[in-house]
A and B are shown apart, each in its own frame.
Chain A
Amino acid sequence: MALLEVRDLSVVFQRKGEEPFRAVDGVSFDVEPGQTVGLVGESGCGKSVTSLAIMGLLPKRGVTITGSVSYDGTDLLKLSDKEMRDRRGRDLGMVFQDPLSSLNPVVPIGLQVTEVLERHRGMARKEAMVEAKTLLDKVGIPDPNRRLKEYPHQLSGGMRQRALIAIALACRPKLLIADEPTTALDVTIQAQILTLMKELVHDLGTALVMITHDLGVVAGLCDEVNVLYGGKVVEKAMRHKLFAEPRHPYTHGLLASIPRLDAPRGEKLTPIKGSVADNIPWSQGCAFAPRCPNALDVCTRETPAEEAQLGRLLRCHNPVVPGTPAAEEVSV
């Protein structure tokens, strides 16, 4: 049994007088200890909502969550608020996107680290401060004694993200969810943070769910990749397989749209046409069909079923034939 088993997770947002909106639609995946699983997709595909649903951080009102999220055998969706609060930070850690706004601006870093230690590990302030120093040391923050006394605005972006990771890992959670942890950082710092996360996952045996829109992050970190589109997993495969042979036209498009350094000068970028606003509902057909270069008639009539084939799951009527080059160029 895997550490985290997400089965058929659906999140529906319902507002008075509006059509219910299905942000996550039957997502299933497993995470083993020490494994890194990526959830990839563009803005609005349901990545973050999936993570918030696992953590139980979605508002109660107007949100319906169905399916199951079983962690070590217990269904997290069935736990009471109090039980869930006890687990958050202790069993489940989370790192957010923007390290500056995720830290309390008026509390020194040290207190923000010790807060979790005092809460979940029952440490006294003094003991927790010592532990906090080791933690900051471990995530590679130089001069931890000084940093403990400083406020978030006095730290650089990379250091803030390191501090957040230290806080998330303070109680050695078995599962860490990272929601675009490198988006707000510049490229060199991104690489450092990813390396750090890789090392920590390796050393502590933490299972990591990596949420990102950046395929570079996926390539560097994830073992298994789930590509989300319109709230559904459209393709799931091991990293190498996915990068070598993307079968879903959306995955193919995502990979083709990455600018290449070895491309000749003046070569145009290849975006995926249209935007999420063009989606058709999954109940009607394939949500990606209006933007899909491979779309057939059947794509707008029938919902594609999830098919397992050779170590990958695919949801497509007309998958890309392996070896197809990038879609036709579009002038930007």
Chain B
Amino acid sequence: MVLGLSAKKEKIDATAGVSLAASAWKRLRRSPVFLTGAVIIGLFILVSLLAPWLAPHNPADPMLIDQVVKARNEIPPSQPGHPLGGDLQGRDFLSRVLVGSQQTLIVGVVATLFGLTGGLILGTLAGALGGWVDSLVMRVVDVMLSLPSLLLAFSIAAMFSRPSQFTVILAVSIVQIPVFARLLRGSMLAQRHSDHVLAATALGVKKGAIVFRHMLPNSLGPVIVQSTLVLATAIIEAAALSFLGLGNPDDRTPEWGQMLGDVQKVFDTHPHLAAWPAICIIIVALGFTLMGETLREALDPKNRR
């Protein structure tokens, strides 16, 4: 009897606390929107990781070219071994679309990470120190946010004399910094006046420990959710930069935005060359957005049941 009671009590204790993450996951698992996003992103990551093996040909190698009468070299149509035909330079189009996912993934993830890091540093400075540091950082952020993000990214990318994949990443990530900085600063400010920070101060905990152990970890939630949404924006902006010719000029490495830009002049006759990379960009961006939005909803304590 006594044993039974204590066992029961143990059980209640174990189930008593349902963490935010656990309850969020419970809801996400049943949300079709989240699952759609997750499947898209899962497939996208899988394809980009396995692209070298999935691609039937080397994306940099052209098909056989008539060296004698160069004018005869038209864009190769769909044919056995090359289901989507070739591109302007006669390279296997399917392989290029598949391998192109790698660039998109790298640029998206790295730019978001850079942006996140920059935003964390600025947001922590503003939120933890307050006063004039806060005002200064926030005014800079306001100025950056007042410019259309694509225009800002375009200007930053155009400053480099030799565009490369890295300049694209840099331009896109700088544009993302203010979004993160503002978000983090907001939740840091809320933490600053919270009871547990007051309690920690009352215990004589040092300022650094208060910021990094008590304020920062409690402020990260919204920033992490935002970063999934930013992934989608980063991918679109990187593609836009490449499309406008500010991307990597070396077209041996395929990139969706660049592929889209290259085929502008043959769009009337070969619309499929533009359609494939465009559809890929849209689907991947959509996947990240669906996942980010549902994640944000699920982690919002107001929606907690």
Contacts and interface: CB of A to CB of B under 8 A. Distances in A.
A98 interface: yes
- Scoring B13, B16, B19, B199 by chain A CB atoms within 10 A of each residue's CB, the highest score goes to B199
B218 A89 contact: no
A85 B218 contact: no
Contacts of A167: 203
Interface string A111-126: 0000110011000000
B197 to A, nearest CB: 8
A85 B19 CA distance: 33
A101 interface: yes
Nearest to B14: A154
Given A103-B199, A105-B218, A106-B217, A85 B204 contact: yes
Given A107-B217, A115-B213, A102 B195 contact: yes
Contact of A94 (B16, B202, B218): B202
Interface string A159-176: 000001001100000000
Given A101-B195, A104-B214, A115-B203, 13 more contacts: A55-B202, A85-B204, A87-B204, A94-B203, A96-B198, A102-B195, A102-B199, A115-B205, A115-B213, A116-B205, A119-B204, A154-B17, A168-B203
A57 B218 contact: no
Query: Taking chain A's interface residues, is the majority helix, strand, or loop, or is none over half, making it mixed?
Result: mixed
A106 B198 contact: no
Contacts of B202: 55, 57, 88-89, 93-94, 96
Interface residues of A, number: 29
A101 B194 contact: yes
A101 B199 CA distance: 9
A89 B16 contact: no
Contacts of B30: none
Interface in A263-321: none
Interface in B67-126: none
A119 B205 contact: yes
Contact of A154 (B16, B195, B198, B217): B16
Interface string A46-89: 00000000010100000000000000000000000000011111
26 contacts: A57-B201, A57-B202, A87-B204, A89-B202, A94-B202, A94-B203, A101-B194, A101-B195, A101-B196, A102-B195, A102-B198, A102-B199, A103-B196, A104-B200, A104-B214, A107-B214, A115-B213, A116-B204, A119-B209, A151-B19, A153-B17, A153-B19, A154-B13, A154-B16, A154-B17, A168-B203
A90 interface: yes
